[in-house]
Structure 1
Amino acid sequence: MKLTDRPGNATLVLLASLYCAQGLPSGLVAHSLPVLLRQHGVDLGLIGLLKLLALPWLLKVLWAPWVDRMGSSRLGHHRGWILPLQGTVILCLGGLALLAPHLLFGSAFWLLLGLLLLINLAAASQDVATDGLAVRLLPARWRGLGNSLQVGGYKVGMLASGSGLLLLIGPLGWNLSIALLAVGLLLLTLPIWRFRERQLLPRHAALAEPAGPGLLLRHYRGLLAQPGMLAWLLVVLTFKLGDALGSPMIKPMLVDQGWDTAALGQLTLISSLAGIGGALLGGLLYARLGALRSLLAFGALQALGLAGMALLVGAGGKPLLVYALCLFEQAADGMSTVALFAVMMSMCRAEHEGADFTLQASTQILLAGLVGACSGVLAKLLGYQALFVGAGVLAAAMLGLVLWYFLRVRQTVVVA
């Protein structure tokens, strides 16, 4: 396959299925279970423990190098991780489907948390192998399209196990709804089951260091020693800071203007679809625009969308305006995320793809998480309007780092 060739439909279906599968556990934990637990009278403090279930996604950087190094000689390297890990999630969901909800949300609550932690551990580890597989499968020019599938597929999975599950539980009940979720995940496993990795993606052992003691240090020290990598990580660290500052306060701002749960749920669903559409559009445009122009153009749209939220302060009674701005902001977010992830893939070394991408992804959420945690305090001190304008200005200012990297640093770095 040439570097300019568009990946085949089988490759696109494979990646879409894997990323959609990853979104299923996240939607269940983040959106469905808090509602169901509260409906069954579970204490808010215990519901808050669900946040700890995301720890494997933050800590996976610690074991990602071993996912790159160790694999199955019979199943294929990445496939040898993905199949058993996705099978583990299916079995856990099957176990949840066999238990009565009044037990899971009552005396067996800690069993529920344990199964959910195992699901997140398996899904986070599978993500490392999936990202490594995606980097190897996608020609450089089409990594934007591949990341469209990553962003879009993940959101589809979250919608299915979030909003979709809540809609199904009413007529079908907990057990049948979770069973259907497990069956859906089983169907999403078929493309990777049929994928002939050993024939299509042979390993190059000479490029990989042995998986012995000190692998973690050797792996990341080697990545950070790449020319321009520290400068690139600074771009990764800051590119989404404006979004992290502004987006958490959009829904609280609308709540303060009288939007109820049903109206916000509908807005969330439609804007999520806009985000998926934006991700797909961004991936297609990335192939034409390239890395620098995509980051600048999509980043500028992201900044404009965040600043535009200031127009909604005091305008909550104008649903058409709310929908227009929220859909634009979500579409721009999808486009900018796809562009960033595509360049991150280009910075991965051969035979180090999964862990190299994982470190960059972890870097991306590190500072963004801290800034997001401060967004509520800043909204209270400055007001919503100033917060959104500030978020837009911050997002636009970070584009200066993008220009600095590509124009001053990139000549020492090979970015396809």
Structure 2
Amino acid sequence: MTAPDATSPAATSATSPSWRDSLAVYLQPRVLIVLFLGFSSGLPLALSGSTLLVWMAEAGVDLGTIGLFALVGTPYTLKFLWAPLVDALHVPFFTHAFGRRRGWLVFAQLLLIGAILLLALTDPARSPLLVALGALLVATMSSTQDIVVDAFRVESLPESEQAAGMAAYVAAYRIGMLVSTAGALFIVTGFEAIVPRGAAWMWGYVVMAALVLIGTVTALAATEPAQSARAEAATQDEGALTRVFHAALGAFSEFLSRKEAWVVLAFVVLFKFTDAFSGNMTVPFVIDIGFTRNDYAVIVKGVGIIATLAGGFAGGFVARRYSLATSLWI
């Protein structure tokens, strides 16, 4: 009796994971670690963005100043510039105590907590410049955390769990954003019942800073990725500048050496191209056809978050069950 051909249905069913296996991957410890780190990554975004703008508007800051605060998000766009530094340089004590990735994770999260607490102590009405500095520090440390979490996720998960890990990360990221927007506003409202409005905002941000500890505890409970440990051992005799150069050069050369790299790059750009345009036009379009601001808020924070979570987990489930090309078509 001959073995089934690799392309036959029998071979496919033997190698393709079952539906139960596809669902069980979300309960793998490695995926759960990525999930909690995703929450920690999504939490700070609104604290230097939409939630901060609500605080400033309530404090009576003029619209022109509020509009300039869009520049605070610049570190999220430019984080690729210092990613090689995070990849190659050691953090005194932290790298030795926790490892290459976990050391940077704990270090960035502790600085992030400090930046959020600094922002909590500011007064938007009296010192908008200090608020801008605090928000810039929050965005910088948050984007640094994103760099490390992305590297940790890729190095920690085997290829079969990458899609599920990304789905869990995105879902938790969205939940973190929801907590720091709607959740933070509800918390501030609760504090207003016992303290003045300014103090309520301060304590709301203190609670948000405390929630970052979820990511810190997760980083401490995790183990250093084996791939990171091997890379660290291979470069331990190199100087700091040499490691940075090799990290920057390696990131680009490794990608460009892949088959059809430019096609992949074009796909990613075009994939996000329409989303960027439609994202900017969604609000005026919805308002123009008769919906109110409250209607739009309910859709984005209610139905929108449900659809995002469902789509993220469905995508990870499909990608584990089928090939990447088939999953993209689906």
Into which bin does the TM-score normalised by the smaller protein fall?
Answer: 0.7 to 0.9
Corresponding letter in the other structure for 1:83: V
Residue equivalent to 1:212: 241
Q: In 2 relative to 1, CA 233–208 (structure 1 residues): closer, same or farther, beyond 3 Å?
A: farther
Corresponding letter in the other structure for 1:285: V
Corresponding letter in the other structure for 1:36: W
1:192 Cα deviation after fit: 0.8
Q: Are residues 1:190 and 2:217 paired?
A: yes
Residue equivalent to 2:102: 79
Counterpart-to-counterpart distance in 2, 1:134 and 1:29: 25
Corresponding residue SS for 2:48? helix
Residue equivalent to 1:354: none
CA displacement, residues 318-351 of structure 1 (integer Å, 9 cap, x when unaligned): xxxxxxxxxxxxxxxxxxxxxxxxxxxxxxxxxx
- Given that 1:7 and 1:138 are in contact with CA atoms closer than 8 Å, whether structure 2 keeps it comes out as no
Counterpart-to-counterpart distance in 1, 2:229 and 2:80: 24
Corresponding letter in the other structure for 1:249: M
1:40-59 alignment to 2 at 5 Å?
40-59=59-78
Residue equivalent to 1:257: 289
1:216 Cα deviation after fit: 6.3
1:283 Cα deviation after fit: 0.7
Whose relative contact order is higher, 1 or 2, with alpha carbons under 8 Å and at least 6 apart?
Answer: 2
Corresponding letter in the other structure for 2:154: V
1:31-42 alignment to 2 at 5 Å?
31-42=50-61
1:200 Cα deviation after fit: 8.9
- Given that 1:134 and 1:146 are in contact with CA atoms closer than 8 Å, whether structure 2 keeps it comes out as yes
Residue equivalent to 2:152: 133
Counterpart-to-counterpart distance in 2, 1:169 and 1:74: 37
Q: In 2 relative to 1, CA 237–109 (structure 1 residues): closer, same or farther, beyond 3 Å?
A: same
Residue equivalent to 2:49: 30
1:245 Cα deviation after fit: 2.5
Q: In 2 relative to 1, CA 96–56 (structure 1 residues): closer, same or farther, beyond 3 Å?
A: closer
Q: In 2 relative to 1, CA 142–160 (structure 1 residues): closer, same or farther, beyond 3 Å?
A: same
Structure 2: tracts of 5 or more residues without a match: 1-16, 192-199
Corresponding letter in the other structure for 2:249: R
CA displacement, residues 153-180 of structure 1 (integer Å, 9 cap, x when unaligned): 1111111111111222122121221121
Report how many aligned residue pairs link the two structures.
290
Corresponding residue SS for 1:273? helix
Q: In 2 relative to 1, CA 208–236 (structure 1 residues): closer, same or farther, beyond 3 Å?
A: farther
Corresponding residue SS for 2:61? coil
CA displacement, residues 285-337 of structure 1 (integer Å, 9 cap, x when unaligned): 1101221111122xxxxxxxxxxxxxxxxxxxxxxxxxxxxxxxxxxxxxxxx
Residue equivalent to 1:115: 134
- Given that 2:34 and 2:165 are in contact with CA atoms closer than 8 Å, whether structure 1 keeps it comes out as yes
Structure 1: tracts of 5 or more residues without a match: 298-416
1:93 to 112, 116, 124: 116
Q: Are residues 1:246 and 2:273 paired?
A: no
Give the TM-score normalised by structure 2.
0.80
CA displacement, residues 172-224 of structure 1 (integer Å, 9 cap, x when unaligned): 12122112111211133211112232779632357669542544652344232
Counterpart-to-counterpart distance in 2, 1:57 and 1:131: 13
Counterpart-to-counterpart distance in 1, 2:204 and 2:278: 35
Residue equivalent to 1:176: 203
Counterpart-to-counterpart distance in 1, 2:174 and 2:52: 17
Counterpart-to-counterpart distance in 1, 2:145 and 2:189: 31
Corresponding letter in the other structure for 2:103: G
1:236 Cα deviation after fit: 1.4
Residue equivalent to 2:123: 104
Counterpart-to-counterpart distance in 2, 1:80 and 1:161: 25
- Given that 2:48 and 2:138 are in contact with CA atoms closer than 8 Å, whether structure 1 keeps it comes out as no
Counterpart-to-counterpart distance in 1, 2:109 and 2:184: 19
Bigger shift: residues 177-186 or 7-16: 7-16
- What's the C-alpha RMSD, in Å, of the aligned pairs? 2.4
Corresponding letter in the other structure for 1:58: T
